[in-house]
Amino acid sequence: MGYPRAATLRPRRLAHALLSLTAVLAVAVAAPRPARAEGDGARAAASRAHFDSGVALYDANPPDYAGALAEFKAAYRIKPSAGLKQNIALCYKALRRYPEALDALRELLDEGGASLTPEVRRAAERAIVDLSRLVARVRARVVVRGKVAEVPQAIVLVDGEVAPAREADGAFRLGSGTHVITARAPGFKDAIPQTLELAGGGEERVVDLELWPEGPIAVALLVVRVDPGAEVWVDGAFVGRGGWSGPVPAGEHVVKVLTADGQALSEVTSVAAGAKAEVTLVVPTTAPAPADLVRTPALARDYPWYVRGGATLTRESLRLAEPAGEASEGRSRAFVGPSFVLAVGRRLPIDLFAVEVYGEIGTLYAEYTNDGAAAATRARVDRWVVAPVLRASSRGRLRGFAGVGAGLVGQSIGVSVPRGGAAGGADVREASGISGLALADLGLAYGFGRVSVELAGLGEIHGVGAVRDGRGERFLLASPAVRLGGRAGVAFAF
């Protein structure tokens, strides 16, 4: 059975509870339940005794929140009740253990179910939002002799206690404020404690905790022979390219090699103290690249930034208006020309995607003869493009890619219209403007380590209504216009 509604916390502490957790924790929500077996009466009495002790400790002057928490937990273990979760959350909040307070409130909502009144449920949800602003996430990495390593026996200590249970991604939650973090493992000296000042609101911090073996370190020599230009990694740390040799602690070591064409091999080797071990990891030319060990993830990790440059040849049909020298109804003319592309991007943690800033500058030309004209009209469009682009790419040495983006295009048009009559000559008419655009490309890239070449088809849709002359008259009709073409280029990762 649950506890009377007025008995969750006594009035002297009730005001504090209301301020602490937005009123929800001041009211017990578990409705009385009928006894289900003969032993329930004794269990309920024992649970009530712990509950009363917890209330007394909470109301003491000064209050003993840790003792109250232990009593409320004992009462809950004997006879679970959603109402007790409120008091447990209050104690965690008072102890500034905000992540545990959050968990208790969420369990309150789950366990209370339909027995919670709408007011209590809304208040609990508001309290969860408020407490979430006081929680940060920490990733603690164990480092052995300056290199990130797996030490199965290592434990992380926070404020002298074992760190909270880690989440699926390896991080654990701590309340905002000052915390001291260290690490301990058998056979190693404790890591130097680090003091973290954490802010809430989901802040995430990464801290390296360095362990050093106790006593003298037995040294050995490790020699790694690989393909020219291949990367060498020892115990998870990059040590060089094209081979490596150097001192290592005696024992087992994991050697990994990543070749320039995207292949990867690994080997575990053991070397005795004072001895020398040689490891040869050369990829045969006929060996297929392992499907799960290709260059793209390494690029995303080691060289997340890239720059792409290239040239395009495009064509578009533009309908010129009367101020541009056409008939009143307008005529469509084919414009063709080159442009140059420069883009800077960064790969996302999900290594199949990247974001970039795409820039392009170029010119389109058209030459045509109007009806009845004795000479040809020449038209030129100078244009620039700036747009953010989201790009996706497959893995492997030969990979497909696609990108979509939206941004701005600036166009300046000059039309040389021949004059009639014996005098000859031409009138030059000019207009300019900036419009919005959407663009997309699709192509293939072939990688040589950090350098790759690419071929792509591209398409663009952009407005033309903003292109006007000095009198405000439109030069181009039939908005939007479509530009199509191809691009060749080179990309470099860094």
Domain 5-132: which CATH number of 1.25.40, 1.20.120, 3.40.50, 1.10.3470: 1.25.40
Q: In this predicted model, which residue has the larger pLDDT, 379 or 260?
A: 379
Query: In the structure, what pLDDT confidence band is assigned to residue 289 with cuts at 50, 70 and 90?
Result: very low
Give the residue range(s) of CATH 1.25.40 domains in the chain: 5-132
Give the residue range(s) of CATH 2.60.40.10 domains in the chain: 219-281
User: Spelled out in words, what is the top-level CATH class assigned to the domain 136-213?
Assistant: mainly beta
Pick from 268, 249, 265: nearest CA to 257: 265
What angle separates helix 82-94 from helix 98-112, to the nearest 10 degrees? 170
Position 393 scores a pLDDT of 87
**What's the mean per-residue pLDDT of the chain?**
80
Q: For residues 274-294, give the mean pLDDT.
A: 63
Residues 175-233 pLDDT 10s: 888 889 998 887 788 888 888 888 877 788 888 888 877 766 666 777 888 888 788 88
Position 19 scores a pLDDT of 36
Distances (CA, A) of 368 to 159, 332, 333: 80, 11, 8
Q: For residues 359-376, give the mean pLDDT.
A: 86
Residues 37-91 pLDDT 10s: 445 688 888 889 999 999 999 999 999 999 999 999 999 999 888 778 888 998 9
Q: For residues 309-325, give the mean pLDDT.
A: 90
Give the residue range(s) of CATH 2.40.160.20 domains in the chain: 295-493
Query: Which CATH code is given to the segment(s) 219-281?
Result: 2.60.40.10
Domain 295-493: which CATH number of 1.10.357.10, 2.40.160.20, 3.40.50.300, 1.20.1050.140: 2.40.160.20
Q: How far apart are CA 215 and CA 233, in angstroms?
A: 26
Which residues are CB-neighbours of 233 under 8 A, at least 6 positions away?
239, 255, 256, 257, 258
pLDDT at residue 297 above 60? no
Q: Which of 28-37, 154-163, 239-248, 338-347 is the least confident region?
A: 28-37
Q: How far apart are CA 303 and CA 351, in angstroms?
A: 11
Residues 85-130 pLDDT 10s: 888 998 998 988 888 898 888 888 888 888 888 888 888 888 888 8
Give the residue range(s) of CATH 2.60.40.1120 domains in the chain: 136-213
Which residues are CB-neighbours of 444 under 8 A, at least 6 positions away?
398, 399, 400, 401, 454, 455, 456
Q: For residues 470-490, give the mean pLDDT.
A: 91
- Using a 10 angstrom Cβ sphere, with 0-12 exposed, 13-18 middle and 19 or more buried, the burial of residue 172 is middle
Q: What does pTM read for this prediction? A: 0.42
CA 342 centroid distance within chain: 25
